[in-house]
Amino acid sequence: MNTTLKNKSALVTGGSRGIGAAIVSRLAREGANVAFTYSNSQERAEATAKAARIHGSRVLPIHADSADAKSLTHAVDHTVKELGGLDILVNNAGVFVMGPLESFSLADFDRTLAVNVRAVFVATQAAAKHMKEGGRIINIGSCNADRMPFPGGGVYAMSKSALQGLVQGLARDLGPRGITINNVQPGPIDTEMNPATSEFAGLMIKQVLAIPRYGRAEEVAAMVAYLSGSEASYVTGANLTIDGGFTA
């Protein structure tokens, strides 16, 4: 077992399933103690925590709605209290709402910005107060920030594009403190919400992707693990794409 993150404490937002769960497991495998937030199923969250604990790390699920600033700030503070500090923040929680311009509701617009943009800022602001030199902040963005190839995804693409500007700006604020901040921008990843066996996936694999398959959540988690470690200490303000050639 790798222990590159031994004695480190991490918080992953939206970590109960999909890419988030893979990140929780990978950070635990690397030796970190990991807290993660979930907003819906406690049963699923406990199952994710149990699976990650096989690596010998402490894993702590925290119920929190990323759209609620107070709830999210509490999750950061609770992580610090329970794990003895905070070295790594992974802003993974996100929502994906599509719809034509003429019928896209303001409620969906506001929810998208609240979870995909404001929550990233809120969690980052709260976490940075506790981080020391060597701190790592990693956002899970999307390759749709660079390319949205179908109609109905404008609001989602906008929300992920906002993260690009945020990390480039905050890299200047946090760099003098020895804290890095980066985006990881996945393309099509095989998850419960976007299965590689769907008709849509078949079209993507055949016509769009340079590597003719969907990515695995574990591949995204591997990039997050790299950015979390000491070898990535000179990487900051970057938007790192892992998309099988979707934007090539």
pLDDT tens digits, residue range 182-202? Answer: 999 999 999 988 999 998 899
Share of the chain above pLDDT 70, in %: 99
Q: Vertex 154, ends 152 and 158: CA angle to 5°? A: 155
More confident: 87 or 200:
87
- DSSP string of 117-152? IIHHHHHHHHHHTT--TT-EEEEE--GGGT---STT
DSSP helix/strand/coil, 241? strand
E strand or H helix that includes residue 25: helix 18-29
Residue 224 has pLDDT above 80, yes or no: yes
Q: Which pTM does this prediction carry?
A: 0.96
pLDDT band, very low/low/confident/very high, at 1 (cuts 50, 70, 90): low
- CATH number of the domain to which 189 belongs: 3.40.50.720
Residue 2 lies in a domain: no
Residue 245 lies in a domain: no
- Structure-token match 């222990």, residue found: 3
Residue 232 lies in a domain: yes
Query: Is 226 among the residues known to form the active site?
Result: no
pLDDT band, very low/low/confident/very high, at 203 (cuts 50, 70, 90): confident
Distance of CA 114 to the CA centre of its chain: 15
Residue 243 lies in a domain: no
Cα distance from N-terminal residue to C-terminal residue, the chain: 35
pLDDT digits (tens, 9 = 90+) for 126-164: 999 999 999 999 999 999 999 998 899 999 999 999 999
Q: Count of domains in the chain?
A: 1
Q: What is the mean pLDDT of residues 224-235?
A: 97
pLDDT digits (tens, 9 = 90+) for 108-128: 999 999 999 999 999 999 999
For residue 248, give every residue at least 6 positions away whose Cβ sits within 8 Å of its Cβ, in sequence order, or none: 210
Nearest CA-CA partner of 89 in 216, 224, 219, 185: 224
Cα–Cα distance between 18 and 92 in angstroms, integer? 10
From 156, 214, 226, 234, the catalytic residue: 156
Neighbour tally for 120: CB within 10 Å: 30
Structure tokens given for 4: 């590159």
Note down the domain range covering 60.
9-236
Residue 244 lies in a domain: no
Residue 108 lies in a domain: yes
Per-residue buried b or exposed e for 194-229, using 16+ beta carbons within 10 Å of the residue's own CB = eebeeeebeebbeebbeeeebbebeebbebbbbbbb
pLDDT digits (tens, 9 = 90+) for 19-76: 999 999 999 999 999 999 999 899 999 999 999 999 999 999 999 999 999 999 999 9
Cα–Cα distance between 241 and 192 in angstroms, integer? 21
Residue 242 lies in a domain: no
Residue 4 lies in a domain: no
Q: Vertex 28, ends 239 and 166: CA angle to 5°? A: 25
